[in-house]
Structure 1
Amino acid sequence: MRLVLLIGLLCIAAIAPAHAQERMNVVASFSILGDFVKNVGGDRVNVTTLVGPDSDSHVYSPSPADARKVADAKLVFVNGLGMEGWLPRLVKSAGKKAAIVTATNGITPLKYGSDADPHAWQSVANAKIYVANVHVALSAASPADAEFFKSNAEAYSAKLDALDRDVREATAKIPEGRRKVISTHSAFGYFAAAYGIQFIAPVGVSTESEPSARDIAAIITQIKSAKIPAVFLENISDPRLIRRISEETGARVGGTLYSDSLTGEKGDAPTYIDMVRHNIKALTRALGA
């Protein structure tokens, strides 16, 4: 009896570390995408995020440590649509052909001039496409865990459906004439298209650009003529421009919107769902009658 018990314990001890070693190493280019991967991958995946909380993916400069992270990963999840211009150099410096997964596959991009708008996650319906792409990629990389990934993806997609309904109900309560705001850069085009709030920004889809004096003057004139009620800061942008516009127009600063990045665990938006709920609460509070 003791011999059988000992053999059983040895078998359990051998299986447990083997299972732990099966956790797949993956990399996500930025925090919002990393959150999608974590929700689908669960405890079968080790997720490393390159551009962390409250950081700007548009102007990110990879480090040698990032190259090592990519070299150790089985999959690298990226947004695409021109967002990670630094990625090809990073993959090359990693010294191997990493399996790149573009999470926006299947999404028809909006255009800002001749550029694609990369901020597709700002529509919750699009977020579900990100999740579906993550599910497919993880399942292909680890077929033994495919049912686990499928279950996680379905459960998370149900939460996203509930989130989308809540956002639509909240925006419907904002008077139509007040559904206009100023934000730092053009990160909310997909949100505007999905939920009917107009966003005007002095900076384009990338924070690398700088608004001219003429651009700022035009924005100020537009705020006054259209009676735009609120301007918003963003967690990744210099707040001075928005504060200046607020001072010159009398439009109130409605708070901070989270556009391209989540916050740390103790912040207002540590997850994608938290981010969207924070943003719609800030918008309805500032734009309500």
Structure 2
Amino acid sequence: MTATAAVSLALGGCSGEPARKDGEKLRVVTTVAPLTSIIASVGGGRIEVDGLVPEGVNSHTFEPPPSASRSFANADVIFINGLKLEDPTRELADRTKRSDVAVVELGTSALPEPDYIFDFSFPKEDGKPNPHLWTDPTYAVKYAEKVRDVLTGLDPDGATVYRESTATFVAQANALTEAIRADQESLPADQRELLTYHDAYAYFARTFGWRVVGAIQPRNFEDPTPREIVGLIDQVRREEVKVIFGSEVFPSRVLEQIGKATGARYVDVLRDDDLPGKPGEPEHSWLGLMRFDYLTMIEALGGSAPRLRTLDVNQAGADHARYAQ
């Protein structure tokens, strides 16, 4: 799907008049938690957000339960990441939503096709680009601006709320960008390298001048073969990688093995779509997630991150989101 097809109205969906009454909140359905957080921050108290993908679940292999059909049927708008991340969810949405309801692909609309990243986990021959735009705050800004425009079209009376809340989100995302750029200067440029449990930071790396050495999950999102492990061990030794970044949500004995074999430090706390903290806490947000990850990366690699440590992660509207558990 091209960027021009990022917003679509499926003709085969359920027909009928919109169920929302005047004065009721917009019913918004989303997928992964970072998107849910961004959308809730833009919509604030004028929307009810239902995030379908439970935190800690692999979003690439997630199959929506039958109960998701009800959420789609009642939705006023459906936001997904796109870029082929949620194909089963998109298919169910197209079958069960009302025919007047848009499915908005935020990632597909934000990323021109020439800027797609294909790599070891997302080879070009499979036709699925790396979808993890939300880990780059410059793209998160584009997500928020797209959400603002869509919500304003559906709810013109809320235009001022959506405009002001988006301005607040953009200011916070820009502050995050500035903090990352300032704090990463504590690391020599040749030490800004990432070997991670999951290939989630490719767009961040391109924007901020980091290098992704590799990711432990290959294209089928299963553990690598013994031959691939040997190749990673050789690469870590050859390139003198200091830190291997694992996941708190998806522990990996393979990464531990590579760390022990090479002497690289194994840090197993990163997250790409599982928000830190508990619902209702400031850290339980897109901004809290990104601050946590990049603070962890810079300090684990031997740098210091005072700007990230003092970054305010309170996001207005985030408490209006409901995340699948």
TM-score tier by shorter-chain length is 0.7 to 0.9
| Corresponding residue number in structure 2 for 1:107 | 111
Counterparts of 1:141 and 1:190 in 2: how far apart (Å)? 31
The number of equivalent residue pairs is: 270
Deviation at residue 58 of structure 1 after TM alignment: 0.8
Q: Indicate which of 70, 74, 77 corresponds to 2:76.
A: 74
Contact kept, 8 Å, 1:228 with 1:251, in 2: the verdict is yes
Q: Indicate which of 239, 245, 258 corresponds to 2:252.
A: 239
Larger Rg: 1
Counterparts of 1:73-152 in structure 2, within 5 Å, are 73-94=75-96, 96-97=98-99, 98-104=101-107, 105-108=109-112, 109-112=116-119, 113-114=123-124, 115-152=128-165
Runs of 4+ in 1 over 6 A off after TM superposition: none
> 2:47 corresponds to which letter in structure 1?
V
Deviation at residue 203 of structure 1 after TM alignment: 2.1
Most deviating of 69-78 and 246-255: 246-255
Which has the larger share of helix? Answer: 1
Contact kept, 8 Å, 1:181 with 1:229, in 2: the verdict is no
Deviation at residue 96 of structure 1 after TM alignment: 3.3
Q: TM-score, normalised by structure 2?
A: 0.77
Deviation at residue 53 of structure 1 after TM alignment: 2.1
Q: Which is bigger in relative contact order (C-alpha 8 A, separation at least 6)?
A: 2
Q: TM-score, normalised by structure 1?
A: 0.87
Contact kept, 8 Å, 2:37 with 2:286, in 1: the verdict is yes
Contact kept, 8 Å, 1:120 with 1:190, in 2: the verdict is yes
Counterparts of 1:235 and 1:56 in 2: how far apart (Å)? 13
Q: Structure 1 residue 169 and structure 2 residue 161: aligned?
A: no
Contact kept, 8 Å, 1:79 with 1:102, in 2: the verdict is yes
Q: Structure 1 residue 203 and structure 2 residue 210: aligned?
A: no
Most deviating of 277-286 and 260-269: 260-269
Deviation at residue 268 of structure 1 after TM alignment: 9.7
> 2:117 corresponds to which letter in structure 1?
L
Structure 1: give runs of 5+ residues left out of the alignment: 1-17
Q: Indicate which of 235, 246, 259 corresponds to 2:272.
A: 259
Most deviating of 152-161 and 267-276: 267-276
Deviation at residue 202 of structure 1 after TM alignment: 2.7
Q: Measured at CA, do residues 76 and 239 of structure 1 come closer, stay the same or move farther in structure 2, by a change above 3 Å? A: same
Contact kept, 8 Å, 2:198 with 2:217, in 1: the verdict is yes
Counterparts of 1:96 and 1:236 in 2: how far apart (Å)? 35
> 1:226 corresponds to which letter in structure 2?
E
Counterparts of 1:147 and 1:95 in 2: how far apart (Å)? 28
Deviation at residue 270 of structure 1 after TM alignment: 1.4
Structure 2: give runs of 5+ residues left out of the alignment: 1-20, 304-325
Q: Indicate which of 168, 175, 191 corresponds to 1:178.
A: 191
Q: Structure 1 residue 37 and structure 2 residue 39: aligned?
A: yes
